[in-house]
């Protein structure tokens, strides 16, 4: 089974792997996007110990949260067996708002509260385990953003608050205005996108004992695309496979992320149950130090400094 981790001293307990819902409505086979199919996938994840679901207001052009609500409506008791993470703050032209001409960010207190209340209504739930500010809004002060999050925490509509795609300075600033400390920073992190290791994000998380969440752990699928860029990684993974019980490149990629001492929680982005099951096995892979660096070298194309 997948292990569980408290993501911050004041934060919730999440599963080591998180199921991401970004593409749950994208499947070419529409039968896989019905409420019954979505609930079945959620329950299959739960059987593997993957109890944390990640979504966002904007996913599916504002349709995914409603789809989650449709699935949970089929079995209301299942809500108590999972943790729900969602995000707010990105607004784009869409069928609901044809008057919008340009995509923009808005994390004012009023907008955060309204978006959260909409998320609760669409998903048919009475609280959100973790609300994330999806991206920094350069036109909103930290005081204003914190006011919205603090109100939601006080009112019990969210159990904890965090951010996504914040740099270390933005995180520190907003955190300084919070009544209850932020519990995570959800950032892009993979063998092909190692920025959190270098830009201070992972170090900040360790200092604050906050576990980061890693979106796009397979680099938006680029790791599996079979390009010239990933050939060294594929070759190294093939070389290491037998040592780790026949592990595939994607399993080694998840294990590589999870080996980092900041304890990132990778977010799975697949609708295929066999891929989810394979990812679950990755949680038990403990890479040797030299093999972790070997994958780093294969990804970077050069040796360590």
Q: Which residues contact 131 (CB under 8 A, 6 or more apart)?
A: 85, 86, 87, 88, 112, 116, 149, 152, 158, 160, 161, 162
CA-wise closest residue to 186 among 217, 146, 219 = 217
Instruction: Tell me the three-class secondary structure of 230-295, residue by residue.
Output: CHHHHHHHHHHHHHHCCCCHHHHHHHHHHCCCCCCEEEECCCCHHHHHHHHHHCCCCCCHHHHHHH
Q: Is 207 helix (H, G, I), strand (E, B) or coil?
A: helix
Let me know: does 16 contact 4? Beta carbons within 8 Å.
Answer: yes
The catalytically annotated residue of 19, 59, 91, 166 is 59
- Roughly how many angstroms between the first and final C-alpha of the chain, as a whole number? 38
Query: Catalytic site residue 59?
Result: yes
Please give the torsion angle defined by the CA atoms of residues 237, 238, 243 and 248, in that order, rounded to the nearest 10 degrees: 70
Residues annotated as catalytic are: 59
């Amino acid at each position: 089974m997948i292990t569980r981790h408290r993501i911050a001293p004041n934060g919730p307990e999440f599963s080591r792997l998180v199921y991401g819902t970004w593409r749950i409505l994208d499947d070419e086979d529409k039968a896989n996007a019905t409420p019954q199919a979505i609930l079945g996938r959620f329950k299959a994840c739960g059987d593997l110990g993957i109890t944390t679901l990640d979504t966002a207001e904007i996913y599916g052009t504002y349709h995914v949260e409603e789809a989650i609500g449709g699935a949970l409506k089929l079995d209301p008791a299942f809500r108590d067996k999972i943790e729900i993470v969602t995000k707010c703050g990105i607004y784009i032209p869409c069928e609901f708002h044809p008057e919008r001409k340009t995509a923009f960010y808005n994390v004012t207190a009023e907008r955060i509260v309204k978006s959260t209340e909409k998320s609760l209504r669409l998903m048919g739930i009475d609280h959100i385990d973790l609300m994330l500010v999806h991206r920094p809004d350069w036109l909103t002060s930290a005081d204003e953003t914190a006011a919205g999050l603090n109100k939601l925490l006080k009112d019990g509509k969210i159990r904890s608050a965090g951010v996504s795609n914040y740099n270390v300075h933005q995180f520190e600033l907003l955190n300084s205005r919070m009544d209850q400390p932020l519990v995570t920073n959800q950032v892009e992190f993979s063998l092909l996108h190692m920025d959190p290791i270098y830009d201070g994000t992972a170090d900040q998380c360790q200092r604050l004992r906050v576990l980061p969440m890693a979106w796009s752990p397979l680099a938006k699928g680029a790791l599996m695309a079979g390009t010239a860029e990933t050939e060294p990684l594929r070759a190294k993974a093939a070389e290491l496979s037998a040592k780790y019980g026949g592990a595939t490149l994607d399993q080694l990629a998840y294990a590589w992320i999870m080996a980092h001492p900041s304890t990132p929680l990778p977010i799975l982005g697949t609708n295929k149950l066999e891929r989810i099951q394979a990812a679950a096995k990755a949680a038990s892979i403990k890479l040797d130090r030299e093999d972790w660096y070997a994958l780093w070298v294969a990804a970077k194309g050069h040796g360590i400094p």
